[in-house]
Structure 1
């Protein structure tokens, strides 16, 4: 769609392509990359989910979507985690792993 649709969020604030919004049902945050209108209403496409949301479920926000939690794990920490998991696996018996419960 070449023309930009003029619309507002749940609070009446103007929404345009490039606006940062929050989907009120799940707190998903993203930037609007497209707006379209059809017989069912006006929809905005969020860059973080690549899904369209009805604009009456969106709220303008100052927050920006993050790229996810990023952290570094040292080689020593990783070796320790692997060692702990290996020890835990060796101490388990097949009966504990395949314990059946319920009717039968």
Structure 2
């Protein structure tokens, strides 16, 4: 499934839709121009075990790398994904 990204001055979200229904989202706030704080991740119960949460975090990591940003994974799910993926350490704040 495709991951989309919307952003504003204060933060943004990565999300996935299925037939017009949002089935997964991960939100973040911008602490400043460099630091993103992932504060929430949710995957619809029907779509859990499909790896969508991890894909959302990966999209945030890719975005951070492309834009020279750092991430603070405040939400428990994102924090766990960062612990399990040492390759994400370059964007970890």
Q: Scaled by the length of structure 2, what TM-score is found?
A: 0.21
Q: Which has the higher helix share?
A: 2
With normalisation by structure 1, the TM-score equals: 0.20
Q: Which has the larger radius of gyration?
A: 1
